[in-house]
Chain A
Amino acid sequence: MKKIVSLAAATLFSLGLPLSSFAQENPKIIRLAFSGAGTGGKPASGGSFLATAHQKGEIEKEFEKDGIKVSWTFFVGAGPATNEALALKKIDFATQGDLPLTVARSNGLRTRIIMKGSQFSRNYIVVPTASPIKTIDDLKGKKFAVQKGTAGQLRLNRVLEKFGLKESDLKVIDMNDDSAKAALSTGDVDAYITSSTDLVSRGLVRRIYKIDDPKVNAPSQIWVAEEFETQYPHIVQRVVNALVRTAAWASEEKNREEQYRLWAKTGTPYSDYKEDFKGDQMRDRLNPLLDEYYVSSLAKSVAEAKQFRFTRREVQLAGWVEPKYLNQALKEQKLEGYWDEFDAEAKRKKAGAAK
């Protein structure tokens, strides 16, 4: 008997199947990260179902019984800092914007995209209230704050391109959200790109341009490090299960207000979220599907990152998006069709058309 077992083990081993995948070995800790932090570096995030999951302790609940610890990191250095942590194998799951995501892959960092993080965000180009700047053209030669290497920078480049401008036509200065807001109010920078409505309601800034094109505001995503996914696929499934559960809760209109309150723990006021999500269905903004819109948007981001010279090497799309965990969770939780799919043009597909 013993011999057969060892023989079987040897066979499996020689086939390259690690025994651990059968033994369902568990990690000691699951490390999740946000590419951003609350005001003044507060360890909190808002505006996504992952943020809601963090606030409500959903991942912790899922793994409590197994004694698996869950840790959350909030990088003030945003997406670029997440990439450094990924390279040093310090995180397993993260949410990130499109530019740092693409930069990571072009540098050979391996991730699997498992869910959309959020979509259809609204962003604005703002200037100090007293500023003479009125149009995008007026921005030429002006100091523009953006956190470099983040999705905001790629977004800015897309807007500028629409107006026939380049980043080098402006003086683009690297600043995180906190610094940029301070610099705007002291007049140290002339313009900023932000989703925040708070500065407007306080009368500090004026919007000169609204970015509501879903092709300019690329969706964010949630990924798992490829190494972790290979080693613990069953854990990845359970993380996705918990996140899909949270996304469904977060998408219910009756939970809207409560969710704003949870997100307001970031230091971004309640009113800011209320204004930001006004007129949108929660289930559209917090849609986790890896639909046509997502995949085409990703391909577009990759091409643009190259075009604007943020990446230098080719980025392989094949094998990057991994929808199987999400599909499994949707099936188990009977949520297929709950969220609408969007096509490459970001138009809603008619119900039933996808099936």
Chain B
Amino acid sequence: MNAIQSLDNAQVLEPLGSALPRLHLPDCRGLTPLLKRLAYGLAFPLFLLFLWQTATERVWLPPQILPEPAFVWETLLDMLGTGELKGHLLASLQRVAWSLLIGGTLGLAIGFAMGLSRTAKAYLYPSFSLFSQFPVIAWSPLMIIFFGIDEALKISTITVAVIVPFAVATYKGIENVPNKLMEVGRIYRFSFRQTLWHIALPAALPAILGGVRQGAMQAWLALVFVELLASSEGLGYLLVYSRNLMQLDVVMVCMAVIGAVGLLFDLALTQLERHFSKWAPKGY
């Protein structure tokens, strides 16, 4: 189970009627559930925006440190217009794509190996458990020594961040394939390949996609960190550089884009995951 789904399905505890007046959310009858959720979800960001606007109007912080929302918006449009943002975004996305490809392949391989073979699990699982304990930041000094500061550093660091969620999800997915299905396979004397393609993979697919989603998120988060280190392009780079030139509006645009792209990743992959969950075997 992943965060968003569990949130969706969770029972929300209402505040105790006796202690607190029960908060009535505005009744939005006539709106589709999606719009309703959107409206509730936007309430807090809008409040933050209002707070931001007020803070700049009343100069709670100097404008050099906290530029006004309208100015940040203008900068966003300007950067979209000049193609500056696109260039940096593409550089970042490219790094993530490579890392997902390499890290994803490795992660899937490790996950499948551990899930399908007891021997592989016995050899790999303890080391893997240890490996998964290190945060990406802890890898960076070693990585710099091994890979220098070039593209290799960025891609390898993000790759490390990707491997763990991929491998864990795959392994768990296969481990949780209902025994009944495996038994059917055994009765039909499926070969290893048949077991993999016709039973393990389809049954574990939703879980694996969950891993893909988490992997992509991890990659995106690691990316920004890695680009802060030493680069000449990418969103993380633009973030630091703009800070050096006191262009806090650009910093905020970068943050907004990082957030938006991350959210987009998440939404798209969640949809994909849901789509595949529909026909996956359930209820065993």
Contact = CB atoms under 8 A, between A and B. Distances in A.
A149 interface: yes
B64 A175 contact: no
Contacts of A103: 245-246
B149 A310 contact: no
B148 interface: yes
A171 interface: yes
Given A148-B244, A174-B244, A87 B148 contact: no
Contacts of B246: 80, 83-84, 87, 103-104, 107, 149
A172 interface: yes
Contacts of B150: 143, 188
Q: How many interface residues does chain A have, given as a range?
A: 20 to 34
Interface string A79-115: 0100110011100000000000001100111000000
Contacts of B65: 84, 87-88
B230 interface: yes
Contact of A174 (B64, B148, B241, B247): B241
B230 A175 contact: yes
Q: How many interface residues does chain B have, given as a range?
A: 10 to 19
B232 A107 contact: no
A175 B56 CA distance: 32
Given A87-B65, A108-B63, A174 B240 contact: yes
Which of A88, A143, A149 counts the most chain B CB atoms within 10 A? A149
Which of B63, B150, B246 counts the most chain A CB atoms within 10 A? B246
A71 interface: no
A175 B237 CA distance: 12
B102 to A, nearest CB: 22
B129 interface: no
A255 interface: no
Contact of B149 (A108, A188, A312): A188
Interface in B27-72: 62-65
Interface of A: 80, 83-84, 87-89, 103-104, 107-109, 143, 148-150, 171-175, 179, 183, 186-189, 310-312
Interface of B: 62-65, 148-150, 230-232, 237, 240-241, 243-247
